[in-house]
Amino acid sequence: MQKSGLSFPVRVSPEVRDAIASNKPVVALESTIISHGLPFPQNVDMALSVEKLIRDNGAIPATCAFLDGVPCVGLNESEVQQLGEAQKVNKVSRRDVAVTMANGLNGGTTIATTMILAELAGIKVFATGGLGGVHRGAEITMDISADLDEFARTAVAVVCSGPKSILDIEKTMEYLETKGVLVSTMGKEGTNVPGFFVTDSGIKSPYNFQSVAQAASIIHYSELMRLNSGQIFCVPPPAEIALDNSINAVIDAAVKEALSLGIKGKDITPFLLSTVAKKSGGKSVKTNIEFVKNNAIVAAGIAKEVASLRG
């Protein structure tokens, strides 16, 4: 093993480092969605266009990943391309961080790990598609995404379209309540939690917010009270990009298929997403990309408000 002697093991790009040092708004982005969530080449197109959208909306994007074992915050275009094309990329959640570094692997960061890297770098806001959560049948399999516990220990706000509808959303919400994690959904009072592909999961959101300033204020008070936890800001996919409830039958079939094939652990989410993509004739991929873009715009707005509250 090489001794690096570095006390700060994360490679933060100069642009992101400068932005953080001068209190400019920064939005972190994950990379499991690139390496395991979406097919090539749509994954690379999505990643680059989300970065551009964040810039167009006044913030600096910071895509996170492991390159040859080095945790990176802020990738350049060719690094994004490389990650999107590569066949052997580890899916890195909290459990996988140190082993990925020790073995010098390339890795896509899940929500949990992107939060870890964002916090180390000093980034407060992060945008993605959908949360990991409590899987259907978790009362037997005990499959609960490490994303959920990360919110209980890492102070980063995630803007997303709710827990993936391949999950048990009701149990996911219960788990987050137990862990003391705020979930607030954009929209008027009474707007339900979105279900990733669908605008309304049918599950009540504990809170709602109407403006990016309100979201930033919650982040601010959470910091002030040293809660040391993250927040989940859900943005329902707009009706024109959301799928209708017929996608639920496709999801149910994919969950059954995974069960019959014995797919488990970290492989189940990528399996379900790619099966739903195939069975929906690519429609789910299109929707997924569109709501990540929508979430990135909201995240840039929140990051700007957070910066101005600090300034």
**79 is a catalytic site residue:** no
Amino acid at residue number 16 = V
For 14, other C-beta atoms within 10 Å of its C-beta total 8
Q: Which is nearer to Mn ion, 74 or 129 (CB)?
A: 129
Backbone angles phi, psi at 266, to 5 degrees: -70, -15
Q: Which is nearer to ligand PSU, 19 or 61 (CB)?
A: 61
Decide if residue 96 touches ligand PSU (CB under 6 A).
no
Residue matched to tokens 């788990």: 175
Name the minimum Å distance from CB 161 to ligand PSU: 8
Positions that interact with Mn ion (CB under 5 A): 143
Decide if residue 37 touches ligand PSU (CB under 6 A).
yes
What x/- string results for residues 102 through 141 when contact with ligand PSU is judged by CB under 6 A? --------xx----------------xxx-x---------
**30 is a catalytic site residue:** yes
Per-residue exposure over 170-186, b if at least 16 CB sit within 10 Å of its own CB, e if not: ebbbebbeeeebbbbbb
Which two tokens mark 229? 């936890």
Q: Which of 51, 119, 150, 164 is catalytic?
A: 164
Decide if residue 32 touches ligand PSU (CB under 6 A).
yes
CA angle 305, 189, 229 (to 5 degrees): 50
Residue matched to tokens 């204020």: 217
Q: Which does 93 bind (CB under 5 to 8 A by kind): Mn ion, ligand PSU, none?
A: ligand PSU
Are 311 and 262 in contact by the 8 Å Cβ rule? The answer is: no
Which helix (H) or strand (E) segment holds residue 218: the answer is helix 212-224
Decide if residue 13 touches ligand PSU (CB under 6 A).
no
Name the minimum Å distance from CB 47 to ligand PSU: 12
Name the minimum Å distance from CB 144 to Mn ion: 7
Please select the residue that binds ligand PSU; options are 165, 275, 287, 288, rule is CB under 6 A: 288
Amino acid at residue number 137 = G
Count of CA atoms in the C-beta half-sphere (13 A) of 160: 27
Mind telling me the catalytic residues? 30, 164
In the complex, the residues that contact ligand PSU under the rule CB under 6 A are: 30, 32-33, 36-37, 93, 110-111, 128-130, 132, 145-147, 266, 269, 273, 288
